């Protein structure tokens, strides 16, 4: 569906490359994620792919046709949910959706229906200036669904949302996948990446350090372990690797001391994978 | 064309919601008031030309810039950029709406001061193009400015240049020295709506005005396309 080869990019006025030799492809019906800390180049990559930024070098193909050859018809095919709210604040949510929606040939569900799905049914006739950040982000998200496109770009779609709505958005993303849609999302939240993505690319300082399914990445780089907290004078925490736990003397000693407060098994996380590959934290 | 219609419709709504419509009418009332205050001083036609011309220049520039900055600050420029719409339509719609607003305001001013004793055609065309020119300039300068203060600062040379051709109306210099200036055509045609001028002369002024409208359009398209994000 989407293929990127040897993509380099630098912002005008900054000679250093913001994106360094990115290559990846996204298959039809796949949820592909960019996981990386702030400033790693996630949004920049997406902006290039939906043609907001030009002047890159490298090859980008959308359905085997170079991006540059696509006209405005390209935008009938894609839906974009930006990382920052961008609506006409003097218009109501319904008016915003009507305005943006009227440019497309194809219409998805009704506006009322979309608003209802993200809990904005009651606030549809309020001007967006009276919306909270989270409400604006939900509006951003449903605006990308207006014309029922084939490919979605979601730039940190759950940022600024409470857990309930973040969950709701994630569920809607999964439903899109079930309907055969292709999704490219960015996040710095390892749980989101883990739960949603078929494959993730770990992005660090404009470079892809690994691409694989979350499961494979964790198997390959992660180390599951056990965290034990014991109490003598104060609380003390110890970490042990899962492998060879039954023969780990230190571990067995603590167990026998009868001072254990809690034991938690710790799965390998994408965070761990990221730290291992880059020496940096995700957030 | 369908997209152009959508832009025009919503730009009108936004003009109203952002209170720019109200401000424009208020300015018309103030200018009309100034006209009646200056009435005892003599040469009414020239004062009227100065006042009516000043409105599309100032409001075109300021409103153009303000609208651009609204869109930039709300990040709606980005959102519009990923629509299957032509960016020129987006710009043209805003410039047309501001020009029509200026025409409306100028008619209010002219009728309040002259009744129906003026050439409507010349007035409408001249004001339309003055506003077209200056809202285009306003958009372009706003796109190049880092903030509203910088934008206001840059307005000074533009306003001065726009006013220079008035010297001719007050009897200073030869017309050929003024012809290259962007607003000479606009001002002379506006003058023609209150006094009669030679047809050949007017034809030249009309051509001059169209040429500057085209130039300003080219400039604003270039400048703003580079600054979409
Ligand atoms: N318009 C711009 N001009 C110059 N540099 C920019 C611009 N936008 C972003 N950058 C720089 O490019 C780099 C990548 O930014 P980008 O916004 O792509 O990061 P990101 O991964 O999306 O981060 P976040 O998680 O904070 O959204 C950063 O170093 C940033 O400072
Ligand atoms: Mg970002």
pLDDT at B69 over 60: yes
Average pLDDT rounded to a whole number, residues B11-36: 93
Ligand 1 centre distance from Cα of residue A19 (Å): 10
A16 lines ligand 1 (CB under 6 A): no
Tens digit of each residue's pLDDT (9 = 90 or more) over A223-233: 788 889 988 77
CA distance B182 to B157: 13
Q: What residue ranges in A156-278 does DSSP mark as E strands?
A: 182-187, 199-204, 207-212, 225-231, 235-241, 260-266
pLDDT at A245 over 90: no
User: What ligand has the least distance to the C-alpha of A18?
Assistant: 1
Instruction: Say yes or no: B171 contacts chain A, CB-CB below 8 A.
Output: no
Average pLDDT rounded to a whole number, residues A50-55: 92
User: Which of A22, A43, A82, A207, when mutated, tests ligand 1's pocket best, judged by the most ligand atoms within 8 Å of its CB?
Assistant: A43
Q: Which of A6-10, A44-48, A55-59, A220-224 has the lowest mean pLDDT?
A: A220-224
Count of beta carbons in the 10 Å neighbourhood of residue B158:
18
Count of beta carbons in the 10 Å neighbourhood of residue B225:
12
Judge: B14–A103 Cβ closer than 8 Å, yes or no: no
Tens digit of each residue's pLDDT (9 = 90 or more) over A150-168: 999 999 999 889 999 999 9
Ligand 1 centre distance from Cα of residue A275 (Å): 21
Instruction: Show the DSSP H helices in A123-241 as ranges.
Output: 133-143, 163-178, 190-196, 214-221
CB distance A130 to A121 below 8 Å: no
Tell me the ipTM for this assembly: 0.89
Judge: A104–B84 Cβ closer than 8 Å, yes or no: yes
User: Confidence class of residue B35 from pLDDT cuts 50, 70 and 90?
Assistant: confident
pLDDT at A261 over 60: yes
A87: closest CA of chain B, how far (Å): 6
Count of beta carbons in the 10 Å neighbourhood of residue B133:
29
CA distance B1 to B87: 13
Cα→Cα distances A133→A46, B48, B121, Å? 22, 49, 50
Mean of the per-residue pLDDT values of chain A? 92
pLDDT in the model for residue A268: 80
Tens digit of each residue's pLDDT (9 = 90 or more) over A157-209: 998 899 999 999 999 999 999 999 999 999 999 899 999 999 999 999 999 99
Percent of all residues in chain A with a pLDDT value above 70, rounded to a whole number? 100
Percent of all residues in chain B with a pLDDT value above 70, rounded to a whole number? 97
A100: which chain B residues are within 8 Å (Cβ-Cβ)? Answer: 79, 83
Instruction: Say yes or no: B225 contacts chain A, CB-CB below 8 A.
Output: no
B195: Cβ contacts below 8 Å, ≥ 6 apart: B45
Count of beta carbons in the 10 Å neighbourhood of residue A65:
11
Question: In this structure, are strands A199-204 and A31-35 parallel, antiparallel, or unpaired?
Answer: parallel
User: What ligand has the least distance to the C-alpha of A44?
Assistant: 1
Give the burial class of A191: count Cβ atoms within 10 A of its Cβ; 0-12 exposed, 13-18 middle, 19 or more buried: middle
| Comparison of pLDDT for A29 and B36, the residue scoring more | A29
User: Which of A7, A9, A18, when mutated, tests ligand 1's pocket best, judged by the most ligand atoms within 8 Å of its CB?
Assistant: A18
Tell which of A86, A125, A150 to mutate to test the B interface (max B CBs under 10 Å).
A86
pLDDT at B228 over 70: no
CA distance A65 to B64: 38
pLDDT in the model for residue A224: 81
Which range has the top average pLDDT, A99-113, A125-139, B48-62, B158-172?
A125-139
CB distance A33 to A201 below 8 Å: yes
A40 lines ligand 1 (CB under 6 A): yes
Tens digit of each residue's pLDDT (9 = 90 or more) over B88-108: 999 999 999 999 999 999 999
> For ligand 1, atom 24, which residue shows the shortest CA distance?
A38
């Amino acid at each position: 569906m989407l293929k990127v080869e040897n993509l380099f990019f630098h912002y005008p006025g900054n000679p250093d490359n913001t994106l360094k030799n990115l290559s990846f492809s996204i298959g039809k019906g796949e949820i592909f994620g960019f996981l990386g800390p702030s400033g790693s180049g996630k949004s920049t990559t997406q902006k290039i792919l939906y043609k907001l930024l030009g002047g890159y070098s490298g090859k980008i193909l959308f359905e085997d046709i170079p991006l540059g050859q696509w006209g405005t018809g390209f935008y009938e095919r894609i839906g974009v949910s930006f990382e920052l709210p961008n609506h006409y604040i003097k218009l109501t949510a319904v008016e915003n959706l009507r305005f943006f929606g009227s440019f497309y040939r194809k219409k998805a569900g009704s506006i009322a229906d979309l608003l209802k799905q993200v809990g904005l049914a009651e606030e549809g006739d309020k001007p967006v200036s009276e919306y909270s950040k989270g409400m604006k982000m939900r509006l951003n998200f449903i605006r990308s669904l207006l014309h029922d496109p084939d490919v979605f770009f979601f730039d940190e779609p759950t940022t600024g949302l409470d857990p309930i709505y973040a969950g709701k958005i994630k569920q809607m993303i999964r439903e899109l996948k079930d309907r055969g849609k292709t999704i490219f999302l960015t996040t710095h939240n390892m749980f989101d990446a883990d739960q949603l993505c078929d494959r993730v690319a770990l992005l660090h300082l404009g470079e892809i350090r690994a691409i694989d399914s979350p499961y494979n990445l964790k198997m390959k780089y992660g180390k599951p372990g056990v965290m034990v907290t014991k109490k003598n004078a104060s609380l003390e925490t110890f970490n042990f690797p899962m492998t060879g736990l039954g023969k780990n003397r230190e571990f067995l000693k603590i167990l026998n001391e009868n001072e254990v407060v809690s034991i938690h098994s710790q799965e390998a996380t994408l965070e761990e994978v990221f730290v291992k590959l880059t020496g940096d934290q995700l957030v | 064309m369908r997209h152009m219609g959508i832009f025009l419709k919503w730009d009108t709504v936004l003009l109203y919601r952002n209170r720019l419509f109200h401000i424009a009418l208020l300015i018309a009332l103030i200018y009309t008031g100034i006209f009646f205050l200056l009435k005892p001083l003599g040469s009414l036609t020239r004062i009227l030309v100065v006042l009516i011309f000043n409105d599309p220049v100032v409001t075109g520039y300021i409103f153009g810039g303000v609208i651009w900055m609204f869109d930039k600050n709300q990040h709606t420029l980005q959102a519009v950029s990923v629509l299957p719409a032509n960016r020129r339509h987006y710009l043209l719609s805003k410039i047309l709406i501001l020009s029509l607003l200026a025409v409306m305001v100028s008619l209010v001013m002219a009728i309040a001061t002259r009744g129906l004793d003026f050439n409507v055609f010349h007035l409408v065309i001249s004001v339309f193009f003055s506003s077209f020119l200056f809202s285009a300039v306003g958009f372009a300068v706003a796109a190049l400015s880092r903030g509203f203060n910088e934008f206001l600062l840059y307005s000074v040379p533009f306003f001065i240049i726009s006013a220079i051709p008035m010297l001719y109306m007050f009897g200073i210099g030869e017309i050929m020295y003024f012809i290259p200036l962007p607003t000479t055509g606009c001002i002379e045609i506006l003058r023609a709506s209150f006094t009669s001028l030679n047809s050949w002369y007017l034809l030249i002024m009309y051509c001059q005005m169209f040429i500057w409208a085209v130039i300003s359009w080219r400039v604003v398209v270039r400048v703003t396309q580079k600054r979409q994000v």
